[in-house]
């Protein structure tokens, strides 16, 4: 990006100049704005809430009811968040011009459209009692689409040239799934009466444990490329996320069982932790793209280790 100014939100350039062109980044930082990590959170919350709502409908109708409304809230804020991030918001409908399996954003747009519509039908029935047959049909659709809605965002960012995202492609969807479980579980726990909240509480705890484990697994896989998850704002959000998730889980597992105030506090901490984890991943991508050492060093290592794809070729017989 340009030395003078540049797109707001992009990381400042590092000073490293070895093995690079005056320390210039090799790849471009994303142009996405703060709407995107908030969407990752909202989409995950909505998706997992819809699934939870259908699953507990018979056993815990009060919980299900609240989870449906949470799902509606999540899918309702998502399109405005995404549209306002577009360079040309008036052309948002172009997202549905085609369906492309090679573009996670295209797939995600359709999933969100389907998820939003079906959740809307369910909630319309909850509110007015209208369209019982349509609602019966829409419930499993919303619950099933909720699963890809909560996870495709991992593929979305992994499908880029950003090392800290692309090399974490196996873990990111699962990490986002765990965050979605935490969000949906915590939101429903906070909203439902204590005697109905048990499944939601369990979901939040399962998600919290999975999230903490997956972050560790992802960083182990990324090795040196994972540095960015410990530095700058990605590191700060990451530490905050781990603290809030672990703290919230402990509260929810202990005093949150019986005391409503504790349940609400624990849930709030877990929700905040899920938000921070998305922000950490989002920021890490910017930091990873802004320093050429991550792009060049990992590729150079591949070439030296004989695992390169052969972008460069010298004359036959020339000294290598």
Partner 1 sequence: MKLQTHAWPSTYDGEAQPRKGFFTDTSVCIGCKACEVACKEWNRVPESPQGFTGHSYDNTIDLGANTWRHVAFVEQRKEVDLESAGGELVQYASLEQLMGQSGLDTYQDGDGVRWLMASDVCKHCTDAACLEVCPTGALFRTEFGTVVVQEDVCNGCGYCVPACPFGVLDQREGDGRVWKCTLCYDRLKDDKEPACAHACPTNSIKFGDLDDLREEAEERLRALSDAGAEKAQLYLHDSGDGVGGAGAFFLLLDEPEVYGLPPDPVDTTRELGSTWAAVGVAAVGLGAAVAASVLGGRR
Residue whose structure tokens are 């809030």:
244
By CB under 8 A, tell whether 159 contacts partner 1. yes
By CB under 8 A, tell whether 79 contacts partner 1. no
Taking alpha carbons only, the member of 178, 74, 244 closest to residue 66 is 74
Using the rule CB under 8 A, give the single segment among 56-64, 112-120, 121-129, 241-249 that binds partner 1: 56-64
For partner 1, which is the closer residue by CB, 156 or 191?
Answer: 156
Smallest gap from residue 293 Cβ to partner 1 (A): 10
CB 286 within 8 A of CB 33: no
Taking alpha carbons only, the member of 285, 185, 178, 192 closest to residue 241 is 178
Exactly one of 77, 155, 269, 270 binds partner 1 (CB under 8 A); that residue is 155
By CB under 8 A, tell whether 203 contacts partner 1. yes
By CB under 8 A, tell whether 252 contacts partner 1. no
For partner 1, which is the closer residue by CB, 64 or 269?
Answer: 64
By CB under 8 A, tell whether 86 contacts partner 1. yes
Using the rule CB under 8 A, give the single segment among 21-29, 128-136, 225-233, 259-267 that binds partner 1: 21-29
CB 23 within 8 A of CB 33: no
DSSP 3-state of 30:
coil
Taking alpha carbons only, the member of 122, 129, 126 closest to residue 144 is 122
For partner 1, which is the closer residue by CB, 85 or 231?
Answer: 85
Taking alpha carbons only, the member of 176, 201, 177, 205 closest to residue 188 is 201
- Both tokens of 302, joined, read 């591949």
By CB under 8 A, tell whether 226 contacts partner 1. no
């Amino acid at each position: 990006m340009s030395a003078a100014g540049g797109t707001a939100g992009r990381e400042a350039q590092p000073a490293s100049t070895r093995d690079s062109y005056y320390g210039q980044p090799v790849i471009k930082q994303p142009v996405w704005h703060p709407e995107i990590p908030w969407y990752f959170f909202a989409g995950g919350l909505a998706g997992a809430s819809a699934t939870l709502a259908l699953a507990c409908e018979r056993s815990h109708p009060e919980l299900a009811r609240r989870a449906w409304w949470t799902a509606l809230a999540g899918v309702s804020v998502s399109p405005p968040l995404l549209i306002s991030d577009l360079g040309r918001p008036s052309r948002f409908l172009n997202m549905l011009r085609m369906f492309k399996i090679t573009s996670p954003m295209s797939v995600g747009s359709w999933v969100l459209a389907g998820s939003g519509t079906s959740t809307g039908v369910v909630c319309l029935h909850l509110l007015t009692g209208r369209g019982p047959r349509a609602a019966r049909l829409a419930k499993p659709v919303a619950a099933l689409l909720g699963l890809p809605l909560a996870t495709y965002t991992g593929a979305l960012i992994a499908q880029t040239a950003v090392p800290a995202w692309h090399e974490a492609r196996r873990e990111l969807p699962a990490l986002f799934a765990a965050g979605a479980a935490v969000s949906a579980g915590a939101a429903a726990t906070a909203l439902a009466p204590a005697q109905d909240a048990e499944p939601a509480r369990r979901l939040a705890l399962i998600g919290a444990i999975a999230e903490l484990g997956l972050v560790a697994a992802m960083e182990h896989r990324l090795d040196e490329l994972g540095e960015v998850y410990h530095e700058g704002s990605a590191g700060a959000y990451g530490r905050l996320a781990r603290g809030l998730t672990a703290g919230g889980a402990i509260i929810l597992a202990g005093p949150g069982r019986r005391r409503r105030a504790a349940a609400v506090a624990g849930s709030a901490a877990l929700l905040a932790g899920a938000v921070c984890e998305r922000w950490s991943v989002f920021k890490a991508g910017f930091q990873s793209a802004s320093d050429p050492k991550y792009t060049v060093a990992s590729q150079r290592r591949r070439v030296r280790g004989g695992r390169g794809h052969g972008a460069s070729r010298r004359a036959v017989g020339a000294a290598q």
